[in-house]
Amino acid sequence: MVARAISRKGAFSGVRPIDPLRDARGVVRLIDEAFGGELNPTARKTLRDLRWLSRTAWLLGPFLWMTPFADLFSGFVWVEGRQVVGNVTLTQSRGGGPGCWLVSNVVVDPAYRRRGIGRALMEEALAHIRSRNGHRAILQVRADNRAAVHLYRDMRFVAVDTLLKMRLPITPSSHRPITSSPHLSLPLRRRGYDEWYQEYLLAREAVPAAAQRMHPLDLSSFRVEWDERILRWFRNWLGSVREYRLGIGQQGALGATLTVWSGRWRPYHRVEIIVHPDHPGQWEQGLVDHALALLHRYPCHPVYIEVCAAHEALVRALKGRGFITDRELVQMELELTRSQ
């Protein structure tokens, strides 16, 4: 049941379901203030789009549900009078199967913290999941957010995985060319777009199951259609974003992939490395060195990569080349029962 309270002045105070038309600006404001300063360039662009959407929600009306951000406005808010001071987003997880729900954007205005609002929002979210016959709740939280981690542990959430968002900063030594590394002699070859299904199979084996529940592997994200291929070719030709797609073949399958997105006109580079779990420690250092050797041809910008902490060989290789951890996100899960 949704908790409600009425102040002396008759203003509403408590938890209620999100009303997108009324609450969009308040929800985006909370997310911006809580997470805006720690986002990578891609996420910052998404946040800018959200700000625009929140200012035009009244104009979009029922069409708001047709935007890519519709899921953001599914959940609950804590309201004081007319002001949204707390939020929790609640969506079904495609990667976790039926009954698995994703809890995200749990945030409370700093002026209203330490009043039990975060716990009340979480309790309402879990009650909603149970009412929909859900059996698992999953979320991500920054490891250094001790108050939130304590709250979730107190509510019986258990840590199951850790995602590291790493960055190679711009320093005098961080982007030195790597030309003599013995690890550069890898059997790398160009990876064609027609190998998308092999890429999907590799990712399904390499990415931990818990991470797949949080960020499901979608076949469509691996399959690149012809119109997108033409667009990427044009960007490569212009040099705005150059994409390098490399792989290591193993008996007709992919044992590892290296993808590098570099550019002259944007202020960062991005790298993705996937290695089959049957080959731990065999190729990681070479893949990192090869990525940095490619990026040496481009302007000296920060390099971003995401890696599961369980992939220890890759983490060591990255740290050995100067990468630092920007954020450590702990994935936590709660198995739900009717009696909880």
Going from the C-alpha of 127 to that of each of 16, 17, 63, 154, 170, the distances in angstroms are: 13, 13, 28, 16, 47
pLDDT at 62 over 60: no
Q: How many Å apart are CA 14 and CA 17, to the nearest integer?
A: 10
Q: How many Å apart are CA 136 and CA 231, to the nearest integer?
A: 40
Tens of pLDDT, residue by residue over 282-323, are 999 999 999 999 998 888 899 999 999 999 999 999 999 999
Tens of pLDDT, residue by residue over 187-216, are 999 999 999 999 999 999 999 999 999 888
Class of domain 165-328: alpha beta
Do 258 and 247 touch, CB atoms closer than 8 A? yes
Taking phi over 0 as left and psi of -120 to 50 as alpha, with beta for the rest, 94 belongs to alpha
Q: How many Å apart are CA 131 and CA 152, to the nearest integer?
A: 20
Pairing relation of β-strands 253-262 and 136-142? unpaired
Fold of the CATH domain 13-134: Aminopeptidase (3.40.630)
The pTM assigned to this predicted structure is 0.82
**Can you give the residue ranges of every domain in the chain?**
13-134, 165-328
Q: How many Å apart are CA 150 and CA 139, to the nearest integer?
A: 14
Looking at per-residue confidence, does 218 or 45 come out higher? 218
Do 122 and 87 touch, CB atoms closer than 8 A? no
Q: Do 13-134 and 165-328 come out as alike in CATH topology?
A: yes
**The pLDDT value given to residue 2:** 44
- 116 — pLDDT class (breaks 50, 70, 90): very high
- 32 — pLDDT class (breaks 50, 70, 90): confident
**The pLDDT value given to residue 182:** 62
**The pLDDT value given to residue 235:** 82
Looking at per-residue confidence, does 69 or 30 come out higher? 30
